[in-house]
Amino acid sequence: MKKSATWIWYPGDFEIWLGNRCNNRRTERGAMFPPFWKQDSHYVTVEFRKTVVLEEDECIIIKTEGQFNFSIDGKLNYPHAEQHIPKGKHTLSVKVWNQATPPALFVEGNTVKTDASWLVTYEDKIWIDENGVAHGCGIYMNAGAWNFNSSDVPPSQFQLPRKELLPVSIESIDDKEKQLYGTLYDFGQEVFGYLKVFNLEGGNIRIYYGESREEALDPEHCETLDVLEPSNIQRRTNTSTNTWHYELDSKAFRYVFIEPTPGHTQYDGVAVDYEYAPFDESRSGSFRCSDELLNKIWQVSAYTLDLTTREFFIDGIKRDRWTWSGDAIQSYLMNYYLRFDTECVKRTIRQLRGKDPVTSHVNTIMDYTFYWFKSVLDYYDYTGDMDFVREMYPRMKTLMEYCRGRLNDEGMAEGMPDDWIFVDWVDFPMHKRGVLCFEQILLTKALETMATCATLLRDHPLDNPPQGSITPDEYESDMLAYGVLSRQLLTKWKTAFWSEEKHAYLHAIENGETNPQITKFPNMFAILYGYATPTELKTIQEHVMDNGNIEKITTPYMRFYELETLCMCGEQKKVLEEMKSYWGGMLHEGATTFWEKYNPKEHGKEHLTMYGRPYGKSLCHAWGASPLYLLGKYFLGVRPVKPGYEEYEVRPVLGGLEWMSGEVPTPFGKIQISVYDDKVSVYSEGGRGVLVLGDQRYEIKSGERLEILKSKD
Amino acid sequence: MKKSATWIWYPGDFEIWLGNRCNNRRTERGAMFPPFWKQDSHYVTVEFRKTVVLEEDECIIIKTEGQFNFSIDGKLNYPHAEQHIPKGKHTLSVKVWNQATPPALFVEGNTVKTDASWLVTYEDKIWIDENGVAHGCGIYMNAGAWNFNSSDVPPSQFQLPRKELLPVSIESIDDKEKQLYGTLYDFGQEVFGYLKVFNLEGGNIRIYYGESREEALDPEHCETLDVLEPSNIQRRTNTSTNTWHYELDSKAFRYVFIEPTPGHTQYDGVAVDYEYAPFDESRSGSFRCSDELLNKIWQVSAYTLDLTTREFFIDGIKRDRWTWSGDAIQSYLMNYYLRFDTECVKRTIRQLRGKDPVTSHVNTIMDYTFYWFKSVLDYYDYTGDMDFVREMYPRMKTLMEYCRGRLNDEGMAEGMPDDWIFVDWVDFPMHKRGVLCFEQILLTKALETMATCATLLRDHPLDNPPQGSITPDEYESDMLAYGVLSRQLLTKWKTAFWSEEKHAYLHAIENGETNPQITKFPNMFAILYGYATPTELKTIQEHVMDNGNIEKITTPYMRFYELETLCMCGEQKKVLEEMKSYWGGMLHEGATTFWEKYNPKEHGKEHLTMYGRPYGKSLCHAWGASPLYLLGKYFLGVRPVKPGYEEYEVRPVLGGLEWMSGEVPTPFGKIQISVYDDKVSVYSEGGRGVLVLGDQRYEIKSGERLEILKSKD
């Protein structure tokens, strides 16, 4: 089969450009709401090059996004789209300039085709002396590419697929007291898409969107709205022969309330063009068990993650629609157990990092910077994709330099005036100034990640490294340096924060003074990241995690880590109860997707409020979907032992369920597991696996079903 | 008079964006030829803010380039173009997003109007906590602005004015030997503009441009050409009722040779839309003297500088058309004595610097980075504009950090593999590896410039510095640090390179070994930059500058500094002869503008060759215009003593001329000088001046003509 050509660009530039389009699409009551951090741009002039050896003369066709030139062996040709390459060895070079969208290239000949093996630079540094001799050397990388394999659909045309959905119920509203007149459409569940109002004639209409019925029916306070003014700017599109609509920007909602200009407006109903990231059901994860509530929780989690998996993994679909690093690292982990959409992971990691210079923490949040490092290594663990680690490493290094340049005199991470210390949204007063134990733990892991990545890259050298690549010696020296730094920091915070008296890591030190507050955050991360000694672990379990006097976590965000910690301690039974109670609680409140925050103590409309606004809370928030990850990793018990599931482990735990069965996606296909109290069955299409049941270990061979009968507990 | 509103943007972003447009417009035989260094981009999302105090309610109109939002006192409004501001004190904020061109803002109300007093940032870092409280703080600067005072003409629409010129002669070419058939048009002198071929019908035509007749008549080798294919892509424009033409990109030429498709093509003649940077003759410099050749040299220099003064000061108009830092610093200095176009100086300095991170020397050339620093201080000396120094300082600092990060173990600047060490184009083998004395001198001046600028900024604090501004203490500490560094480096190179035996600074040290080569470059810069002791100065004059065995300089570029050095030593008489011989030599060869390189020993077509190409040389090169500077500063003798001519000196030297008179532009108008051997007359519209004649000093009062009769020499 002939390999096809594909569009290529400077790695990361497509993502940075697309990220700007996506992150700027947030609106708040009709006003655009761009991010408050620096938005980067693609390199506007890029050189692509490739050395080819042709057995015969060949004609190539060059397509670009932007103005281009073409040279062969350093000699510029007249820039025809069609170029003739004589047989033999030649270096082809195409420079492309494009200010508005990333310079991109598609070259197709009989054998010459653009792909990620082409090299790329934003400055070739090649200058010509007074005698016409060329000098200089740039830094080259492998080109960025994805699936743009048609010359007619260049990267800048990218958009997600859509399908039309109709409302499931329609209700006339005529509320004299509130002076509300119009029609309320219910789409049955939360959706993301483009509302179409068909054949609108007459005056303006006002459209109020709601994740809840309450929100859609509250024109004064709903978070998103549209004003359709046919006389004004909207673009009109034909839906079918007799139907047309004005184009609106995407919104997220379950309910839509349409308020027409009384007596002036007519229209023929509405629909939504639901927009989604496509996935392959046959390569996706699944989960079924004996508990129907848990099955529902898994399904709603899957729908929540699908809705927030888009061009990037975003936080929530109604309000921010931004990439947030701390949210995203959870989405990645859930995704490894649901769709295994590795391209979306890479896009999001690249987009979050942006470009140098670093002028603030990722999303301005210190903890979010630290998570970002770990997300690169997580990705490697699940996919085994060393190329991506290699691509990211230079930007990991400059980001780490930024972090190190902001340490306090004791070498600890302490918030500066323009750093946001997030940790979590909490309902109790939590100390966020000074040195937080939580942040030191995250930074330690980030430094350790740097050392690990440097080691991996040292040990996986390229056969023909592009000009200007980092050498194995440089990786080696980084490995040593970051290793020392992470161990030093570990000692510092362990000494500074552990309280023998309180049996816990304390939360904060400010101006040299230790704050007596104890929170779950540093304690559970000490366990999660493997920094707690076995003794500490038990002490923390007893005195912090199981201690009813410690403030409860009220976001699914930190419940993710809290429940993971419990799973690591073998408390699946307790986790099962917590999931059913917490996520089940949201379902009980009518959730069709999981929320940004949920405090079981609140009631009714209280569940909708946040940020001081009655509908400020996001009711479809990626971090709400963590049961996907917990059930896949700690109940079905599947995880890679060597990168990319080259080796893996299945360690199922029923945790009180009668039975469960499910599938976990991997780079080579799926691992299927069924667990009953008397039988375990595993089948995998690849990799070398081990099934662990108590003290017993069974080899799982690729392509062979393994069935183990076990004595009843 | 009511102040008008003006378009504003993030400072430097208009220049960086415009620079990409200009630098990418170079073509080589029809192929685009972009720069080989990194091209930066504007910030795509920018916040503009202004705190206003209104005595009455006011309506404002908002125009933007890009999508915008508007908030008042932190509260987002629906983004209508018209907004109502209640009386009282309010903070207005407009965020604008634009990927393709710089986000720009124009706000006009009765009293509220955009201008450079508005603040701007690319990351406000303002985040909202779970309770709706805003936190965070960005770094703000004053907005960038120029003269876009009409809301209908935003910055992205900027273009230079044009006027139509006709050829001065037309010649039929029918050369059977060379198989050349067509028409040669001569515009009488070098021009820059857009060729118009009127009412072209029938087949294609090929257009060959030439700075020389030889080039235009050499279709195989001319540097620029156009192929007009009416059936293809060109845009057709009506010139007048009965005349139309296809739009072509700008070219530089004196001659155009048009080759029609035989028997198929008809057209009604040609013209050029000459494009130029406008200037005010009444505020320009001038020079007249008793020597007609020198007058001609001054006029051709002025025309050369005018042609290369465009959106930016570019090197030459035919080939590169790029901003080059080493070329530009000379253009600035000439410009201070010709048009005093300070906006073009600022644009060029900003464009050359670009954005962080610094990934190569300016234009990839080490010396060009070092000149860039000095250009900022030169600008301040001539204009007194402290705001610009303040704007540039953060970028000066990061550029200097880049330089310091590349010093060798001895703390000296030594070329790394991707550094271009330029010094000059020379016709003899010149050592460019290792440590060059010349580069150390330039770096010493750059470090000294950093210290001087830090001192100035410390001493000129703002009344209300924007949030995040550098504090006087930080400037103070920079001042001390850079002062130490420059003095240390001075000692190092003086010790390392001065040869008592050779009576000169040696040229290079490579791998610890001193190269015996002596060139004029380090020696004349030691004098120029004031680092040579009086004894060294005399020694250098005798043993280097006046030494016929030292290789001659063959570019007007370094002749600029060579002749300036002679002027500083009081050798105006010799400089006059050199100017008449060297620049007169080019005129004798038929120059209508001055060249990139001129070696009087070459003949005929040899003068056209460079870079291994028969017409590679630029025949209109800014650095050829240095007589403007030399005559203004060292013959008329005018220079600022305090920044912006607050105080100035007139120290006229006839240098062998019978008489001279001229004008020098300043921020407050012109200084007029006439010098005869028995009389000197000076008139100035501002500033405090001193006329220096030998040992005598005479005060020049603003608005009063000073006439001094002197005894004949």
Dump the DSSP string for A568-583. Answer: HTT-HHHHHHHHHHHH
Among B38, B98, B220, B232, the residue to mutate for chain A (most A Cβ within 10 A): B38
Q: A2: pLDDT confidence band, cut at 50, 70 and 90?
A: low
Q: How many helices (H) and strands (E) does chain B have?
A: 14, 38
Determine the straight-line distance between the first and last CA of chain A, rounded to whole angstroms.
54
pLDDT at residue B582 in the model: 96
Contact at 8 Å (CB) between B506 and B515? yes
Strand-pairing partners, residue B456, are none
At residue A712, does pLDDT exceed 70?
A: no
Count of alpha carbons within 13 angstroms of residue A137, beta-carbon side: 8
pLDDT at residue B98 in the model: 98
pLDDT, tens only, A189-246: 999 999 999 999 887 899 999 999 999 999 999 999 999 887 766 788 887 888 999 9
Alpha-carbon gap, residue B701 to B481, rounded angstroms = 41
pLDDT, tens only, B251-287: 999 999 999 987 778 899 999 999 999 999 999 999 9
Which range (A126-140, A166-180, B323-337, B539-553) has the least confidence? A126-140
pLDDT at residue A133 in the model: 87
Residue B579 CA to its chain's centroid (Å):
23
Please state whether beta strands A647-650 and A688-693 pair in parallel, antiparallel, or not at all (unpaired): parallel
Alpha-carbon gap, residue A121 to B36, rounded angstroms = 10
- Asked whether the beta carbons of residue A97 and residue B359 sit closer than 8 angstroms, the reply is no
Write down the pTM of the prediction.
Answer: 0.96
- Residue (of B37, B440, B362, B33) closest to A136 by Cα position: B37
- Asked whether the beta carbons of residue B76 and residue A31 sit closer than 8 angstroms, the reply is yes
How much is the mean pLDDT over chain A?
95
Q: A114: pLDDT confidence band, cut at 50, 70 and 90?
A: very high
Alpha-carbon gap, residue B20 to B13, rounded angstroms = 11
Q: Which residues of B touch A131 (CB under 8 A)?
A: 611-612
- Asked whether the beta carbons of residue B77 and residue A32 sit closer than 8 angstroms, the reply is no
pLDDT at residue B132 in the model: 83
- Asked whether the beta carbons of residue A127 and residue B101 sit closer than 8 angstroms, the reply is no
Q: Which residues of B touch A28 (CB under 8 A)?
A: 76
Alpha-carbon gap, residue A424 to A596, rounded angstroms = 11
pLDDT, tens only, A528-561: 999 999 999 999 999 999 999 999 999 999 999 9
Residue B199 CA to its chain's centroid (Å):
38
pLDDT at residue A233 in the model: 64
Alpha-carbon gap, residue B254 to A276, rounded angstroms = 60
pLDDT at residue A456 in the model: 98
Sign (positive or negative) of CA dihedral B619, B625, B626, B630: positive
Smallest CA–CA distance, residue B226 to chain A, in Å, is: 11
* Amino acid of residue A166: L
b vs e for B500-516, b when ≥16 Cβ sit within 10 Å of the residue's Cβ?
eeebbbbbbbeeeeebe
Alpha-carbon gap, residue A495 to A505, rounded angstroms = 10
Q: Write the residue in B30, B136, B426 that is nearest to A420 by C-beta.
A: B136
Smallest CA–CA distance, residue B27 to chain A, in Å, is: 9
Alpha-carbon gap, residue B70 to B409, rounded angstroms = 53
CB neighbours of B246 closer than 8 A, spacing ≥ 6?
A: B197, B200, B228, B230, B234, B235, B236, B237
Smallest CA–CA distance, residue A395 to chain B, in Å, is: 12
At residue A45, does pLDDT exceed 70?
A: yes
pLDDT, tens only, B427-457: 899 999 999 999 999 999 999 999 999 999 9
Percent residues over pLDDT 70 in chain A: 99
Instruction: For residues A703-712, give the mean pLDDT.
Output: 87
Which chain A residue has its CA at the smallest distance from B95's CA? A34
Q: Which residues of B touch A31 (CB under 8 A)?
A: 69-71, 76-79
Q: How many helices (H) and strands (E) does chain A have?
A: 14, 38
Residues in chain A: 713
Which chain A residue has its CA at the smallest distance from B427's CA? A130
- Please give the C-alpha separations between residue A259 and each of A193, A196, A272, A582, in angstroms, as whole numbers: 20, 15, 17, 37
Sign (positive or negative) of CA dihedral B240, B245, B246, B248: negative
Alpha-carbon gap, residue A424 to B37, rounded angstroms = 44
Tokens matching residue A617: 């809370």
Alpha-carbon gap, residue B127 to A569, rounded angstroms = 36
Q: Write the residue in B45, B100, B420 that is nearest to A99 by C-beta.
A: B100
Helix ranges (H only) for A360-471 are 366-383, 386-404, 437-459
Smallest CA–CA distance, residue A226 to chain B, in Å, is: 11
Q: Which long-range contacts (CB under 8 A, 24 or more apart) does B163-170 make?
A: B163/B273, B163/B274, B163/B276, B164/B196, B164/B271, B164/B272, B164/B273, B164/B274, B165/B191, B165/B193, B165/B271, B165/B272, B165/B273, B165/B274, B166/B271, B167/B256, B167/B270, B167/B271, B170/B269
Smallest CA–CA distance, residue A699 to chain B, in Å, is: 49
Tokens matching residue B523: 């020696």
Contact at 8 Å (CB) between B525 and B438? yes
Alpha-carbon gap, residue B562 to B415, rounded angstroms = 24
pLDDT at residue B233 in the model: 64
At residue A52, does pLDDT exceed 80?
A: yes
- Residue (of A545, A594, A535, A595) closest to A567 by Cα position: A545
Alpha-carbon gap, residue B436 to B362, rounded angstroms = 18
Angle at alpha carbon of residue A63, lines to A60 and A69, rounded to 5°:
85
Q: Write the residue in B100, B125, B132 that is nearest to A611 by C-beta.
A: B132
Alpha-carbon gap, residue A100 to A66, rounded angstroms = 9
Contact at 8 Å (CB) between B561 and B568? no
pLDDT at residue B712 in the model: 55
Among B18, B39, B416, B617, the residue to mutate for chain A (most A Cβ within 10 A): B39
Alpha-carbon gap, residue B183 to B170, rounded angstroms = 7
Q: Write the residue in B122, B130, B364 that is nearest to A136 by C-beta.
A: B364
DSSP structure string for B369-385 = HHHHHHHHHHHHHHH--
Instruction: For residues A325-349, give the mean pLDDT.
Output: 98
Compute how many other C-beta atoms are within 10 angstroms of the C-beta atom of residue A652.
Answer: 21
pLDDT at residue B203 in the model: 79
- Asked whether the beta carbons of residue B70 and residue A31 sit closer than 8 angstroms, the reply is yes
Phi and psi for B521 in degrees, rounded to 5? -55, -60
pLDDT, tens only, A374-433: 999 999 999 999 999 999 999 999 999 999 999 999 999 999 988 999 999 998 999 999
Q: Which residues of B touch A433 (CB under 8 A)?
A: none
Compute how many other C-beta atoms are within 10 angstroms of the C-beta atom of residue B235.
Answer: 8
In the sheet with B679-684, reading across from the earlier edge strand, the strands are: B286-289, B659-666, B669-676, B679-684, B706-709
Smallest CA–CA distance, residue B10 to chain A, in Å, is: 13
Alpha-carbon gap, residue A401 to A403, rounded angstroms = 5
Residue written as token pair 């294919």: B229
Count of alpha carbons within 13 angstroms of residue B711, beta-carbon side: 2
Phi and psi for A568 in degrees, rounded to 5? -65, -25
Among A123, A221, A226, A227, the residue to mutate for chain B (most B Cβ within 10 A): A123
Among B130, B358, B398, B433, the residue to mutate for chain A (most A Cβ within 10 A): B130
Phi and psi for B202 in degrees, rounded to 5? 95, -135
Question: Which parts of chain B register pLDDT below 70?
Answer: 1-2, 232-233, 711-713
